[in-house]
């Protein structure tokens, strides 16, 4: 989630019940920022919407199949079949669908030609093994370090755009949402909205059961589990990694590549295992909090507001008062209400982003009420800070949020200070979400650092701990 404020959901912009999108099996996207979910092409066949599992899946296989046929007859890079395959593997950014890494109001970008050729070279190796499944291209992220989920997602989006457009148009007509053709969408009538730049943008809706939060190409635990049934692949991977004390993702990808490419049979088994293991981002588990964020933004936000009013123009100290109240409100709902439940799944803490997104939804209410800008993941020179609050150029307060099981000491001692220095502010708040997994030594360490800075009359960042451990139901609490 890149920096944005006052986020607008598709349902709110077009004044429809978000439940209608849910019943249609579609994501309710933000119009002003992308959600870090990605279309996984190997999920198309499993989609509950027949147009996707049938026609779109067939279009994907046909498209990649043509790439494979061209690579089969190509004798060297740069010959006519190779150039034709390059044209088919166009990596320009897909039409806007609210998914990916960037802001919603941005021009499509083209990825480096070298990345495209890397995918083609690996595909050529697969073809030479005898593997004929065209969906193999969608698994390139397992083998190539620079092939990210956004690349595969955008490539898939471009191929199945006609089907996504048809689903979008059908939903919009059924709910009286205006659609039209434009320069942004010359062949399909789609809903439009005005982006932050003032330009009109066309968009497509995406089925929620074809997206993942992090494709298996980057999640080694899922890859490992999926390949355990194949003894040959398992043994080869373990053999390649045996001499490496702490294998990196790149090491593991290299090992998996070598194991899968040892034979046509191994490659076939690898593709089969990956396709069977693929699962979509489950709204019921919502490990990143995306659906909870939408729920809060569509609810009565008054329950998250206080009667206090602030004047951000008074400077960073006043902004810090706002910040502390947003954190207090979040802390109250986690510790005294049932919001802690949204931070756990299957008895384990959800990913750090879940807490950040839910906090953001609450904090944004305050910011709108008090004319303060909140920027999630604003880049501050040393990397992305979790939240930056500001009024004008000089009044800034930063908030960094960490899980108790994460790098708490480094985050407080180094990370937040680098961000503060880059933002030219002395005001920072360090929030630790305590899941009951051994925070005490880390907390003692950062409090010593805080005291040492205070003893030197330095501005030491606030430390706030939020108890997110599981709690009894409200009716059973004393």
For residues 421-427, give the mean pLDDT: 88
**Of 301 and 43, more confident:** 43
Q: Which of 56, 45, 98, 59 is nearest to 280 (CA)?
A: 45
Full-model pTM = 0.81
Low-confidence winner among 11-20, 87-96, 115-124, 288-297 (lowest mean pLDDT): 87-96
Selection from 144-148, 267-271, 307-311 with the highest mean pLDDT: 267-271
**Of 270 and 292, more confident:** 292
* 478/470 Cα distance (integer angstroms): 15
Contacts of 333 (CB under 8 A, 6+ apart): 304, 339, 362
309-323 in b/e burial notation, b at 16+ Cβ within 10 A?
ebebeeebebbbbbb
pLDDT at 111: 59
Helix axis angle for 231-241 and 264-277, nearest 10°, is: 100
First-to-last C-alpha distance (Å) of the chain:
39
pLDDT at 463: 97
pLDDT at 381: 54
Band of pLDDT at residue 224, cut at 50, 70 and 90: low
Contacts of 259 (CB under 8 A, 6+ apart): 232, 233, 236, 237, 240, 266, 270
Instruction: Give the residue ranges of DSSP H helices in 197-338.
Output: 220-227, 231-241, 249-260, 264-277, 290-297, 316-335
Contacts of 243 (CB under 8 A, 6+ apart): none
Helix axis angle for 57-73 and 149-159, nearest 10°, is: 110
* Strand (E) or helix (H) holding 450: helix 440-455
Selection from 47-51, 146-150, 211-215 with the highest mean pLDDT: 47-51
Helix axis angle for 161-174 and 149-159, nearest 10°, is: 70
Band of pLDDT at residue 106, cut at 50, 70 and 90: very low
pLDDT of 1 above 50: no
Band of pLDDT at residue 335, cut at 50, 70 and 90: very high
* Strand (E) or helix (H) holding 390: strand 384-391
Count of all residues that appear for the chain in the document: 478
pLDDT at 22: 95
CA 37 to each of CA 5, 336, 354, 424: distance values in angstroms, whole numbers, following the listed order = 19, 31, 13, 33
Judge residue 104's burial from the number of C-beta atoms within 10 Å of its C-beta, 0-12 exposed, 13-18 middle, 19 or more buried. Answer: buried
pLDDT tens by residue, 230-258: 677 777 777 877 878 777 767 877 787 88
């Amino acid at each position: 989630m890149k920096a944005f404020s006052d986020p607008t959901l598709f349902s709110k912009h077009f004044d429809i019940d978000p439940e209608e999108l849910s019943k249609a099996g579609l994501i309710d996207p933000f119009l002003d920022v992308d959600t870090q979910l990605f279309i996984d092409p190997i999920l198309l066949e499993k989609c509950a919407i027949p147009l996707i599992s049938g026609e779109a899946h067939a279009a994907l296989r046909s498209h990649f199949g043509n790439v494979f046929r061209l690579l089969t007859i190509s004798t060297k890079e740069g010959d006519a079949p190779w150039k034709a395959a390059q044209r088919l593997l166009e990596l320009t950014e897909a039409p806007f669908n609210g998914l990916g890494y960037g802001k919603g109001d941005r021009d499509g970008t083209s990825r480096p030609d070298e990345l495209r050729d890397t995918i083609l070279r690996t595909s050529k190796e697969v073809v030479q093994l005898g593997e004929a499944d065209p969906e193999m291209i969608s698994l390139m992220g397992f083998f190539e370090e620079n092939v990210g989920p956004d690349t595969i997602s955008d490539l898939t989006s471009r191929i199945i755009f006609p089907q996504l457009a048809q689903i979008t148009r059908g939903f919009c007509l059924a709910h009286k949402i205006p659609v039209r053709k434009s320069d942004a969408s010359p062949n399909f009538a789609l809903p439009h909205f005005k982006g932050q730049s003032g330009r009109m943008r066309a968009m497509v809706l995406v089925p929620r059961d074809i997206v993942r939060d992090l494709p298996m190409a980057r999640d080694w635990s899922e890859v490992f589990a999926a390949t355990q049934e194949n003894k040959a692949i398992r043994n080869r991977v373990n053999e390649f990694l045996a001499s490496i004390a702490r294998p990196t993702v790149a090491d593991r990808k290299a090992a998996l590549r070598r194991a899968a490419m040892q034979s046509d049979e191994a490659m076939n088994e690898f593709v089969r295992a990956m396709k069977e293991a693929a699962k979509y981002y489950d709204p019921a588990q919502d490990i990143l909090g995306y659906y909870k964020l939408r729920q809060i933004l569509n609810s009565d936000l008054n329950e998250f507001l206080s009667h206090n009013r602030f004047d951000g123009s008074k400077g960073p100290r006043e902004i810090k008062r706002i910040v502390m109240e947003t954190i207090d409100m979040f802390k109250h709902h986690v510790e005294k209400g049932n919001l802690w439940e949204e931070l756990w799944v299957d008895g384990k803490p959800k990913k750090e982003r879940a807490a950040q997104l839910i906090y953001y939804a609450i904090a944004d209410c305050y910011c709108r009420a008090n004319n303060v800008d909140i920027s999630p993941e604003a880049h501050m020179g040393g990397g992305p800070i979790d939240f930056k609050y500001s009024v004008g150029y000089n009044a800034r307060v930063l908030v960094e949020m960490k899980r108790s099981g994460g790098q708490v000491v480094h985050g407080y001692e180094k990370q937040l200070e680098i961000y503060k220095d880059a933002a030219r502010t002395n005001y920072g708040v360090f929030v630790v979400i305590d899941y009951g997994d051994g925070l005490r030594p880390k907390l003692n360490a950062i409090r010593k650092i805080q005291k040492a800075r205070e003893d030197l009359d330095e501005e030491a960042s606030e430390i706030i701990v939020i108890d997110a451990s599981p709690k009894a139901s409200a009716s059973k609490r004393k």
